[in-house]
Amino acid sequence: MVDEDSELEELRKRRAAQLQNDQIEQAQLQKQQEEQRRQVEIQRQIVLKGILTDEARERLGRIKLAKPEYATTLENQLIQLASTRRISEKITDEQLKSLLKQMTQSKRESKITFKRR
């Protein structure tokens, strides 16, 4: 009986140690993922700083506060244009407004109407 109790206690200790190790590994993985996200965001900001004028960057920042999903989509489009070298000079505030207008026009929402009898 004492032998079984000691075996059970040993199994509990091993399981607790394994759970603790799993938690440590999970925390390290989360740190790595967060660091990668931070690095990606830094790279995005560097690219955007290189292709946008100060006024356009300010506008993009305001858009990001009001409508983050639009800002992210717009940033992705700008970064894609920059990576394919289709941008020859910095994008001005007016050009950014034009891109935003095109983006919002292309996202027309369909309306569903119900007729009640």
Could you tell me the pTM of the whole model? Answer: 0.67
Q: Is pLDDT at 107 greater than 70 in this prediction?
A: no
Residue 115: strand, helix, or coil:
coil
Q: Which residues pair with 52 in a beta bridge?
A: 91
Domains of the chain in sequence order? 2-89 (1.10.8.140)
Give tens-digit pLDDT for 43-71.
Answer: 999 999 999 999 999 999 999 999 999 89
Q: Quick one: pLDDT at residue 108?
A: 61
Q: Report yes or no: 43 and 80 within 8 Å, Cβ to Cβ.
A: no
Query: Which are the contacts of 75, defined by CB distance < 8 A and separation ≥ 6?
Result: 44, 48, 60
Residue 74: strand, helix, or coil:
helix
